[in-house]
Structure 1
Amino acid sequence: MSDLRKKWITRPLLNLIRKVLPPISDTEREAMEAGEVWWDAQLLSGKPDWEQLLSMGPPKLTDEEQAFLDGPVEELCRMVDDWKISFETHDLPEEVWDFIKKERFFGIIIPKEYGGLGFSPTAHAEIVTKISTRSTTVGVTVMVPNSLGPGELLMAHGTEEQKDYYLPRLADGSEIPCFGLTSPEAGSDAASMVDRGVVCYGEYKGEKTLGMRVNWHKRYITLGPVATILGLAFKLYDPDRILGDEEELGITVALVPTDTEGVTIGQRHLAALQAFMNGPNWGKDVFVPMEWVIGGRENVGRGWHMLMSALAAGRGISLPSLSTGGAKMAARTTGAYARIREQFSIPIGKFEGVQRRLAEIAGIAYVLDSAHKATTRALDEGLKPAVISAIMKAHATNGLRQAVNDAMDIHAGKAVIDGPLNYLGNVYRAVPVAITVEGANILTRSLMIFGQGAIRCHPYLLDEMMAAENDDEEAGVDTLDKLLPKHIWFQIKTFLRGVFHGWTVGLFASSPRGVGKAAKYYRQLNRYSAILTLTTEVALLTLGGELKRKEMISARLGDVLSELYLLSCTLKRFKDDGSPKEDRPLLEFAMRAGLHNIEVSLLEVFQNFPIRFVGQLLHFFTMPWGHSIHTASDRQSRACADLLMTPSDTRDRLTRGVFLGNPGDGVDLVEQAFSKVCDTEEARDKMKRGGIRMFSRKTVDEALEKKLISEEEADRLGEAADAVDMAIQVDHFEFDELAGNRK
């Protein structure tokens, strides 16, 4: 029976798969195999095991990590003048550079035995988050050496000699690292780089040495202008077959001191008016000894695998931390400003148009912080979830853009006039940089998240593709024959589950125990997990390799997977916090917004499915009633807005980790005014009842004269009025300061 099945079913199917699927390049295979699957695989199983996620508990810091946050991180934030760095010196002050090195900020992830701090991914993320609420320039400067760079690559792949020499020097700042990957010809498609090395013999330390003659041109290299050691990626060739029978050896990564003969460090790029060090570099006929390859000779040609593995973890920390910090800072300051700034004698936060924007900022901050915490918790466990890291990078930076745009709109003129008092301008300018680097969001969304996720997270697909790629046809047939019955049974269960939950609108989907009123949201995530899994199976079955080229369809399916992940993390965070009733408006707003986005994406997939009849069937079987979940109501929006404009544990929980400013700077002035306005609300109401609606020093004196308030209340109201006046001010400059040499 088995032989007959192989002859009449499995072998023809294998041949069909080989025809349908496009060939998989080595770089594509390494990218797909990089990192690991985690909760993303559960979401694409159609029936997530919630215990796997919820049992992890919240992330925790050790006493040492918390002390570092409360000590050196806080002190670093106090030292920073972001306006001066960005618009006057265009560099960190020397004392800040020295402090960063002295306190080993460049060695956050380097183990203690090598002189680093040896902190967890959670601590790493919290450090970058807090610094980024003070200065994106300092945040980027600290995060880059601790993410994709020589330190992480050395720890994972370096020889013992390389680790012993470089890691202590990286940890104490004796060496400043950068990583050269992007070139003018190859941005997001880094595997297409033309930077080239040729295996040869050369002279090193006066002796004939086996090495490589390398030529390159790199750009957009963060810390490049000040780096002393360059992690360099290039394609290596061996035309003389010195190392073996192959001429094309693949992408290789080496450590090259920047003072090596032939290396040129270029001038600086100015990245969207951000002052962090960034610039190009070149190498012309640079001789690189083989011992400079990270991991030595045996890692020649394994550079792409090394980079993808490192990116699978680092991409889930650095830019999501910066984005989370920016969104939380926007939430805290915008809520305060909306409370103290009045128009028509009422706080602008009482206008419903503003309230909706405030609610959206609060929802974004809540979701990003939740996903940030869950992702770093997984990294604490040693996982390297590649697809989830891509989700976090793309959606955290997009979320930051929306939150900051809304914050700018609410602040209006306060935010568009630059100067030391403007605490949003630099975050706003940093958004395009965050969205562009570590994989442009457009391509990450349309090519990577679902394209990689559908294959990596599927229980059988990757093995089936590898069977089709196997040069040994009989081995491929045997592998496929074992997988085929399992895959068919998986498809049957997926179809039944997707149709049932679609027609019953998830009412009978399961939910974990002990989640209270949040159970309805777990049921909806189970419902849409089932529908996404069914849609994925149908898309792969009907479109095959063509799905890879249908980027708009892939992007929408990736959006569904991403929203499922973000909302899962939001539910986990709510439970980890003890399901506080006070936080429920944030949960309601975030869940409704995300579920609505899922429905929109799925309906657009069905509407635009390349095989129209198949799209109609998917719509009929999985979402026959169309939209069933709407975004948050006006009442829920008002509740979220009020949370940002009212002192509470919920507001503090949401914005924990935001640096609240030095005395007299923009954030501090808004914080002080907010506190004073809230403390004097009762006295202010007395003024209103007496017919005095305007709020200023003059009207306070008028209220005292009319005996509407006591002298003690007048003093406090006067202080509040002065604080508000200071907080809403914007900067102005002498003409010559801005005109330069103009006469």
Structure 2
Amino acid sequence: MMAKTRGTAPLTLFAVDTLIDPQDAAIRDTVRKFVTDRIRPRIEDWYEAGEIPARELARELGELGVLGMHLDGYGCAGTSATAYGLACMELEAVDSGLRSLVSVQGSLAMFAIWKHGSEEQKQQWLPRMATGEAIGCFGLTEPDAGSNPAGMRTRAVRDGDDWILNGTKMWITNGSVADVAVVWAQTDEGICGFVVPTDTPGFSAPPIRRKLSLRASVTSELVLDGVRLPQSAILPVVRGLSGPLSCLNEARFGIVFGALGAARDCLEATIAYAQEREIFDKPLAAFQLTQAKLADMSLELGKGMLLALHTGRLKDQGALEPHQISLGKLNNVREALAIARECRTVLGAAGITLDYPVLRHANNLESVLTYEGTSEVHQLVLGRALTGQSAFRAGV
């Protein structure tokens, strides 16, 4: 038997740590230790069962300080965007469902209230959401309005001093465990956001079952049947699609980093397997075709990481454009999924079991590829930036 050797970690090839601020790296390392100690030993069972202890996790993640970590005030840490991205990477290295919980809480529900809400709404919800005491969800997508949010059918109408909401939202992360939902609806004044306590009569959130992806995540339908809200429930600062789209850009930014965490975990697990697995009297890692696959995957992972760090720097400088977020999500999710699939080929039959993370990550990334904007949508965003011509419906 040949002596086993230790290789270089994929991102070490790119000297990535030399590009990261020490404070941001310290936050990354803290999150990595937490998820390694507390979440990784349990994630396979949660995924297999299709259940996750969301409330317990939210409180622990609140104690860790990652819920709304990139926001200022109201109990939020006010970290750099890059630190938030690196945290997303470590969360998704364990499972995309874990990153989704944090992303929907901080970058969608909390950000919507922080950016567009009244001071009363901020004081009421943000401190409790930052600690994980309260969980939020974000109601935009509908059964017939995914990539075209302007086509939403959920409607809010005035009734005296109140609003009455009717409609259905679909594929809502955290919905069944949420204490508050940020719901977007058509009104006579345009698209508006509403802060909806989930114990309001007429609100329900049945969970979506039989998922083959994001199984370690709460995914729900939201049903609004005559939900009556006071005027104070409306997000006062924004009207139109710019409101929900601003929140989606926050979440997409986290995915630029997060998807690389899933890819890195697949690649590291595959390299370790290939070094241990012997075939034809030598390690699988010693074969040329295996090394070619590992080299190509490491190259794409490293290029994606450099893109993510550049995107983070632009965001920290206040210079990041929405189409640049689309560029990062399009490339990094697409390449992460390709890496997960290629890793499965190296593991052979072992790759289809939960003993290794690669097919779990691949299944999750199939969802990440299409949520927060499909690849096709992001291609068209880039096409519009390149040509000045919109391929979307007029007005979108």
Q: In structure 2, do the counterparts of structure 1 residues 269 and 191 end up closer, same or farther at CA, with 3 Å as the change threshold?
A: farther
Q: Does 1:387 align with 2:323?
A: yes
The Cα offsets for residues 288-310 of structure 1, whole Å up to 9 and x where unpaired, read as: 2221111x2x63xx141122223
Does the 8 Å contact 1:107/1:117 carry over to 2?
yes
Q: In structure 2, do the counterparts of structure 1 residues 450 and 89 end up closer, same or farther at CA, with 3 Å as the change threshold?
A: closer
| Other-structure match for 1:280 | 221
- How far apart, in 2, do the equivalents of 1:337 and 1:73 lie? 22
Q: Does 1:100 align with 2:40?
A: no
The Cα offsets for residues 253-307 of structure 1, whole Å up to 9 and x where unpaired, read as: 111101111111112344424220111011111122221111x2x63xx141122
- Structure 2 residue aligned with 1:155, among 114, 121, 141? 114
- Structure 2 residue aligned with 1:449, among 374, 377, 382? 382
The Cα offsets for residues 593-618 of structure 1, whole Å up to 9 and x where unpaired, read as: xxxxxxxxxxxxxxxxxxxxxxxxxx
Deviation at 1:92? 2.8
| Other-structure match for 2:52 | 91
- How far apart, in 2, do the equivalents of 1:144 and 1:61 lie? 27
Deviation at 1:150? 2.4
Q: In structure 2, do the counterparts of structure 1 residues 279 and 97 end up closer, same or farther at CA, with 3 Å as the change threshold?
A: same
Whichever structure has more strand as a proportion of its residues is 2
Deviation at 1:120? 1.2
- Structure 1 residue aligned with 2:177, among 220, 223, 226? 226
What amino acid is the match of 1:120?
Answer: S
- How far apart, in 1, do the equivalents of 2:63 and 2:275 lie? 41
| Other-structure match for 1:189 | 148
**Identical aligned residues as a percent:** 23
Does the 8 Å contact 1:195/1:216 carry over to 2?
yes
Q: In structure 2, do the counterparts of structure 1 residues 310 and 136 end up closer, same or farther at CA, with 3 Å as the change threshold?
A: closer
Tell me which structure has the larger Cα radius of gyration: 1
The Cα offsets for residues 77-107 of structure 1, whole Å up to 9 and x where unpaired, read as: 3112111111136113765443123333323
- Structure 2 residue aligned with 1:351, among 263, 287, 303? 287
What is the DSSP-based 3-state SS (H/G/I as helix, E as strand, rest coil) of the residue aligned with 1:387? helix
What is the DSSP-based 3-state SS (H/G/I as helix, E as strand, rest coil) of the residue aligned with 2:253? coil
What is the number of equivalent residue pairs in this alignment? 372
| Other-structure match for 2:253 | 316
| Other-structure match for 2:77 | 117
TM-score, structure 1 as length reference:
0.48
Does the 8 Å contact 1:272/1:432 carry over to 2?
no
- How far apart, in 2, do the equivalents of 1:321 and 1:431 lie? 13
| Other-structure match for 1:371 | 307
The Cα offsets for residues 202-230 of structure 1, whole Å up to 9 and x where unpaired, read as: xxxxxxxx232110100100000100100
What amino acid is the match of 2:124?
Answer: Y
- Structure 2 residue aligned with 1:440, among 351, 364, 374? 374
The Cα offsets for residues 673-704 of structure 1, whole Å up to 9 and x where unpaired, read as: xxxxxxxxxxxxxxxxxxxxxxxxxxxxxxxx
- How far apart, in 1, do the equivalents of 2:385 and 2:223 lie? 33
The Cα offsets for residues 162-212 of structure 1, whole Å up to 9 and x where unpaired, read as: 2222211211122211000000110111111111111221xxxxxxxx232
Does the 8 Å contact 2:340/2:361 carry over to 1?
yes
Structure 1 gap ranges (5+): 1-56, 202-209, 238-248, 456-544, 550-743
Q: Does 1:307 align with 2:241?
A: no
Does the 8 Å contact 1:313/1:379 carry over to 2?
no
Does the 8 Å contact 2:340/2:359 carry over to 1?
no
| Other-structure match for 2:10 | none
Does the 8 Å contact 1:223/1:278 carry over to 2?
yes
Moved more, 214-223 or 421-430: 421-430
Does the 8 Å contact 1:398/1:435 carry over to 2?
yes
| Other-structure match for 1:215 | 166
- How far apart, in 1, do the equivalents of 2:223 and 2:336 lie? 34
TM-score, structure 2 as length reference:
0.87
The Cα offsets for residues 547-602 of structure 1, whole Å up to 9 and x where unpaired, read as: 838xxxxxxxxxxxxxxxxxxxxxxxxxxxxxxxxxxxxxxxxxxxxxxxxxxxxx
Structure 2 gap ranges (5+): 1-17
- How far apart, in 2, do the equivalents of 1:362 and 1:170 lie? 37
Does the 8 Å contact 2:85/2:253 carry over to 1?
no
Q: In structure 2, do the counterparts of structure 1 residues 171 and 97 end up closer, same or farther at CA, with 3 Å as the change threshold?
A: closer
Q: In structure 2, do the counterparts of structure 1 residues 100 and 282 end up closer, same or farther at CA, with 3 Å as the change threshold?
A: same
Whichever structure has more helix as a proportion of its residues is 1
Does the 8 Å contact 2:311/2:320 carry over to 1?
no
| Other-structure match for 1:133 | 93
What amino acid is the match of 2:248?
Answer: L
What is the DSSP-based 3-state SS (H/G/I as helix, E as strand, rest coil) of the residue aligned with 1:233? strand
- How far apart, in 2, do the equivalents of 1:222 and 1:311 lie? 13
Does the 8 Å contact 1:104/1:116 carry over to 2?
yes
